[in-house]
Chains A and B, each alone.
Chain A
Amino acid sequence: NAGVTQTPKFRVLKTGQSMTLLCAQDMNHEYMYWYRQDPGMGLRLIHYSVGEGTTAKGEVPDGYNVSRLKKQNFLLGLESAAPSQTSVYFCASSYVSNGGEEGYTQPQHFGDGTRLSIL
């Protein structure tokens, strides 16, 4: 019963370095999301995916890229890390029943988060 697994859990980067955050889910969910959570602010959607091979931009996509090559995995990349990207990153997934509106009302299941510091 792993659910949603994120790796790594912690990472410290220097400005300009690149890295990839991995999210894996074993619930056969269609939808996957990447959020960032900063103090005093709500979760903000970076990118999301409605199925294998498809991705879309969320509220704060700049500086990030994503890929969904396999249904169970959703990767978040930082090409050139900046101090403003210091945050806690959460991956989430949700179920789609027969597609369409009903799928969107299913609760999202979250991973434990990745705490990323950019120096």
Chain B
Amino acid sequence: GQNIDQPTEMTATEGAIVQINCTYQTSGFNGLFWYQQHAGEAPTFLSYNVLDGLEEKGRFSSFLSRSKGYSYLLLKELQMKDSASYLCAVLDSNYQLIWGAGTKLIIKP
């Protein structure tokens, strides 16, 4: 079967750095997406990785290792508004997105 694993919940302090991990086992791989979802709102696109390595976008970076079936989202200089769920999703061999259950990130002052 296909499986995406993420921690259920993480807590971090405002101004700090946090790394949210995602491991996957899917039938094929055509890229990995990270989305942010604030409570009661729609998911919004953060990043896309298809090749190994680190992609940086401002305070957010995303890393991919295809051989390990592993990705992480790195958030720097955390702000209170970063409190949200972070969803990892993999595009499988049928070009369908397989979604993880999401990681709820709690930022404390």
On A, residues with C-beta under 8 Å from B are 4, 40-45, 58-59, 90, 101, 104-105, 107-113
B30 touches A101 (CB 8 A): yes
| Contact of B33 (CB < 8 Å), options: A107, A109, A111 | A107
On B, residues with C-beta under 8 Å from A are 4, 8, 30-31, 33, 40-45, 48, 50, 87, 89, 91, 95-102
Q: In terms of DSSP, what is the predominant structure of the interface of chain A?
A: loop
A45 touches B96 (CB 8 A): yes
A105 touches B45 (CB 8 A): no
B42 touches A42 (CB 8 A): no
A42 touches B31 (CB 8 A): no
The CA-CA distance from A111 to B41 in the complex, in Å, is: 9
The CA-CA distance from A113 to B30 in the complex, in Å, is: 27
| Contact of B42 (CB < 8 Å), options: A44, A58, A90 | A90
Known: A42-B101, A44-B99, A45-B96. Is A90-B30 also a contact (CB below 8 A)? no
A110 touches B30 (CB 8 A): no
Q: Closest residue of chain A to B94, judged by CB?
A: A104
B42 touches A111 (CB 8 A): yes
